[in-house]
Amino acid sequence: MVNLASLNPQQRTAAATLKGPVLILAGAGTGKTRVITFRIAHMIDRGIAPVNILAVTFTNKAAREMQQRVSKLIPKKDRNGEKLERPTICTFHSLCLKILRVHIEKLGYKKNFVIYSESEQLGAIKKILSHMSAKGEKTDPAAILSLLSKYKNGGESAKAFAEPSVAALAQHIRKKYESALRACNAVDFDDLILLTLRLFEEHPDALQACRDKYTYVMVDEYQDTNAAQFKLVHSLSSEHRNICVVGDDDQSIYGWRGAEISNLLDMEKHFPEVKVVKLEQNYRSTTTILTAANAVIKNNTQRRGKQLWSDKGQGKRITLHTFENDEEESKHIVQQIEFMRLASQVPWEDQAILFRTNQQSRGLETALRQSNVRYHLIGGQSYFDRREIKDFLAYLKMLLNPHDDISLLRIANVPARGLSDVTMERMLSASQERDCSVYAAMRHTDVQESCLNRTKESLIEFLRFIDETRAPLSDGQSLSLKVWAEKFLTDTGYIEELQRSEKNPDIADNRVRNLKELVEKLDENGVPTTNPMERLQTFLEDMTLDSDREEDKDNKGDAVTLITMHSCKGLEFPHVYIVGMEDGLLPHSRSKVENTLDEERRLFYVAITRAMVTLTMSYCIGRKKYGQMLPCHPSPFLKELPADLVELDDGKAKKPVTEEVGQNFFAAMKRLAD
């Protein structure tokens, strides 16, 4: 029996109302996510089959966490002693992937489709732009991609395309982009959702099957869903109406990605019979932290006001440090973390450093390493931005599907094998003439004949490599993908090339190590069981969709968390350090142009409300940018904090150490010395 007694009355109402639409609208730390977790457990307890339950979270990490918590609440077996299945708890993208893996052939894609990551999307866009005769003025591929995404997803942000000339251009680029991806049998992140919607429209039987399967739907962080995701939720639940959404308008921080707060706030419009639950007690933070957060967010005009209170007591004041530069900042924060650990026995895992941009983690990482402090960096694109990782994934994608032109072109001459840019460009136009893939074009003898003898040999050798390497993937024999990948990496001379291309041997070794680590993971989905082709596809999907997956060894053990303010949403830490509180970083300078100051403030609000016990902030007078020290000014948001809750530390006044703390500290030092 799941015990709802540990919930407060409002929470209990929300968790116990299983039928019909429910909206939980509540501030940070009021237990929204916890309510969902209990609600799922309660449903299972009441005999609802787990397979009928769908809970959508914002990140894969959140999904895993919720799955674990639900598992702890419910028994392993049901009343008849049968093993209980698990409910579906995942992100929108994983859900759509599950659906598309079954149905995608109905939409004209082949079953072995791949998901393109951002760098591959950019590659496709760049190719298109270069073919569109470089007369265009603004051709920042990243900007185009972002616009395209907004355009595709529709909703409020797509209204900017109303003007006919803009719309025509957008439509043109979209068509080119889509046919490029389609020719590669690839989809992007947005397509996962959009294709699922198309499937539902064109194949009502598939929609009906999903509706029948997921008869109870829940969505966490609903304020950050976009128009397409909104449609998806409605398609699934407009009939049975068992839909529970959870969110906080003050924590909407993904507007730049097309998220619309109105999805949350207009819930009553779309489901008039909705039961609205408001939660007001914050179980996370001290009153000081909560008051500061409330004072900051009050400066946003367009919001639903909330009453939040906490019984955790006043707690310590917020500390605000001023540092000379970013290096000093990192050094002192690390010192502070170590002081907390040695003097107050606060383990590393109870402390987190929050920052606005991923770049900021670099300086912190070096400082942490210098002091031998273990840390855990969450998110951060850098890993998948590395050349060797991108190359390797392109190899895998090309071997999974040789008609994937974009992947093939990426690695065709890496390492150099006599197929220069010019040659590949020729192959590309040959493929366009023949209306086939580059791989298919290369196989044509007349295309081969049109090349010089040398190039022709290189082409044939490359084709031989592809076919030979692909053979073991589908010959029905069991295969270790790791061994397989190691072989082709050596045979092609890729590893050698990687080492040679880097002068600095340390960095070269690092690159090889990165690659080897990734290769190791190939067999993690079990070696002999399923067919290698499918395992390869699953591996690639996990890599693109679940890139924030934590390695077990990193997850285990005591470590400080380094995380951006965006990805910290939904998490909590006893001790939080917010660094880089400078004008231009938070709020980011770009937010002034884009008129998104409110969203920056919400971001600050999210960051503050992660803290349970203590909160430390800091800003620098100067910061290194592009190798140069540039002057900085404190963030205007700092002025919004109530002055009496903040203790300033500009480095001049050394605060006295209390006797107890001092003794603990020295005791700890002694222990270390022994």
Partner DNA sequence: TCATATTATGTTTTT
Partner DNA sequence: CATAATATGA
- Residues labelled as active-site residues: 32-33, 220-221, 251, 610
Tally Cβ neighbours within 10 Å of residue 474. Answer: 11
Give the CA distances from residue 295 to residues 252, 298, 583, 640, in Å, rounded to whole numbers and listed in that order: 17, 5, 19, 7
Query: Are 3 and 11 a contacting pair, CB within 8 Å?
Result: no
d(CA 203, CA 205): 5
- Cβ at position 225, least distance to DNA in Å: 11
Pull the structure tokens for residue 160. 């900017």
User: Cβ atoms within 10 A of the Cβ of 252, count?
Assistant: 27
Query: Judged by CB under 7 A, which of 234, 417, 443, 482 binds DNA?
Result: 417
Distance of CA 92 to the CA centre of its chain: 12
- Give the binding range for DNA (CB under 7 A) out of 105-113, 287-295, 397-405, 621-629: 621-629
Q: Which is nearer to ligand ATP, 278 or 456 (CB)?
A: 278
> Tokens 């990193």 label which residue?
554
Binding of residue 257 to DNA (CB under 7 A): yes
- Could you say whether residue 547 binds DNA (CB under 7 A)? yes
Distance of CA 448 to the CA centre of its chain: 43
User: Which listed range, 474-482, 582-590, 606-614, 641-649, lies at the site for DNA (CB under 7 A)?
Assistant: 582-590
Is residue 244 within 8 A of residue 36, CB to CB? The reply is yes
| Least distance CB 7 / ligand ATP (angstroms) | 5
φ/ψ bin of 587: left (φ > 0), alpha (ψ from -120 to 50), beta (otherwise): beta
The site partner of 420 among ligand ATP, DNA, none (C-beta below 5 to 8 Å per kind) is: DNA
Specify whether the CB–CB gap between 352 and 563 falls below 8 A: yes
**What is the nearest approach in angstroms of DNA to the Cβ of residue 482?**
26
Q: Residue 7 binds which one of ligand ATP, DNA, none, with CB within 5 to 8 A depending on kind?
A: ligand ATP
Do the beta carbons of residue 389 and residue 510 sit within 8 Å? no
Which partner, ligand ATP, DNA, none, binds residue 59 by CB below 5 to 8 Å per kind? DNA
What does the alpha-carbon distance between residue 595 and residue 592 come to, in Å, rounded to a whole number?
A: 5
Amino acid at 582: E
Instruction: Decide whether 34 or 575 has the Cβ nearer to ligand ATP.
Output: 34
Closest residue to ligand ATP: CB criterion: 31
- By CB under 7 A, name the one of 103, 332, 376, 588 that touches DNA: 588
Selected binder of DNA within 472, 567, 597, 665 (CB under 7 A): 567
Matching residue, tokens 């760049």: 126
* Residue among 403 and 601 whose Cβ is closer to ligand ATP: 601
Pick from ligand ATP, DNA, none: which does 93 bind, CB < 5 to 8 A by kind? DNA
Task: Choose the one of DNA, ligand ATP, none that binds residue 616, judging by a C-beta under 5 to 8 angstroms depending on kind.
Answer: none
Q: Which of ligand ATP, DNA, none interacts with 248 (beta carbon under 5 to 8 A by kind)? A: ligand ATP
339 binds DNA (CB under 7 A): no
Q: List the single partner that 98 binds among ligand ATP, DNA, none, CB under 5 to 8 Å by kind.
A: none
- At position 43, the amino acid (one-letter code) is M
Question: Do residues 208 and 216 make contact, with C-beta atoms less than 8 angstroms apart?
Answer: no
Q: Which residues bind ligand ATP (CB under 6 A)?
A: 6-8, 11, 26, 28-34, 248, 251, 283-284, 570, 572, 609
Contact 281, 309 (CB under 8 A): yes
Nearer to ligand ATP, 31 or 402 (CB): 31
Count helices and strands (H / E) in the chain.
30, 17
Per the CB < 8 A criterion, the answer to whether 57 and 90 are in contact is: yes
Give the integer Cα–Cα distance in Å for 552 and 569.
22
Minimal distance in Å, beta carbon 26 to ligand ATP? 6
- The pair of structure tokens assigned to 139 is 């051709």
Cα separation, 39 vs 16, in Å, equals 7
Residue 341 or 410 with smaller CB distance to DNA: 410
Site string for DNA, 215-254 (x = CB under 7 A): --------------------------------------x-
Which token pair is 309? 């209170």
Q: Which range of residues in 240-248, 287-295, 532-540, 587-595 is near DNA by CB under 7 A?
A: 587-595
- Residues 587/593/599/605 CA torsion (nearest 10 deg): 10
**By CB under 7 A, residue 516 contacts DNA:** no
Residue 626 engages DNA in binding (rule: CB under 7 A):
yes
Q: Which parts of this chain interact with DNA (CB under 7 A)?
A: 58-60, 91-94, 118, 126, 142, 146, 189-190, 253, 256-257, 356-359, 379-381, 385, 387, 413, 416-420, 422-423, 454-455, 501, 545, 547-548, 564, 566-567, 584, 588-591, 593-594, 624, 626-627
